[in-house]
Amino acid sequence: MNHGVKMIQRQIDRLLSEKPHILVAFEGGSAAGKSTVAEYFQSVYDCNVLHMDDFFLRPEQRTPERLEEIGGNVDYERFFDEVLLPLLSREAFRYTPYDCHLQEMKKPVMVLPKPLSIVEGVYSMHPILAYAYDFSVFFKIGARLQKKRIFQRNGEKMQRLFVEKWIPLEQKYFLGTQVEKRCDLTVCIKGEFKADKKE
């Protein structure tokens, strides 16, 4: 298992030994491995994993003014109301994901209270949301590896869109909010994540 993932797991274990419920943020650039690592922890802890990708702006929300806003590329207001507040209340709730590829709302998702909940995705540490987390991790990836991963995952056309539009908005947000400095831990991504083999 990657050293960075072991560090995250040790911290999660420590916090779970101290608190009945914890909320963790996995922040960082596109294709940096946030969702992969979150999926691994879901298999380890049977935790909730919430995706910021489900809260990207709908077409009618993408005004020039909104996209000029630092961190404005995500519907943090809806995430705050539909997910963050219910998570903090420790009650069961439903939220409605938005599919940005199909440009439509999906069926509501039920979330039950669990000892660990992870919010993964760019903008998860938006200043409006950051106060709520017990632990936060910044996944850092170099530009060359990031472009390679996006190409492998999304193809050439989407890679060009990421490079020309979405990544510059991410970088503007990272610099404008000093998000890496505000996270508790930075994990540098240099290769593929591999979980330990189960005996």
10 pLDDT tier (thresholds 50, 70, 90): very high
The SS3 of residue 141 is: strand
Residues forming beta bridges with residue 104, ordered by sequence position: 99
Nearest to 114 by CA among 49, 48, 51: 48
Is it the case that residue 159 has pLDDT exceeding 80?
Answer: no
Is it the case that residue 162 has pLDDT exceeding 80?
Answer: no
Residue carrying the six token digits 């993932």:
5
Is it the case that residue 116 has pLDDT exceeding 50?
Answer: yes
The SS3 of residue 50 is: strand
Is it the case that residue 164 has pLDDT exceeding 70?
Answer: no
**How do residues 126-150 score in pLDDT, each as one tens digit?**
999 999 999 999 999 887 887 777 7
| CA distances for 58 relative to 45, 124, 176, angstroms | 32, 18, 23
How much is the pLDDT for 199? 33
Q: Mean pLDDT across the stretch 156-169?
A: 72
84 pLDDT tier (thresholds 50, 70, 90): very high
3-state secondary structure 63-98: CHHHHHCCCCCECHHHHHHHHHHHHHHCCCEEECCE
Q: Residue 69 and residue 67: Cα distance in Å, rounded? A: 5
| CA distances for 89 relative to 46, 92, 131, 136, angstroms | 19, 9, 15, 20
Is it the case that residue 114 has pLDDT exceeding 60?
Answer: yes
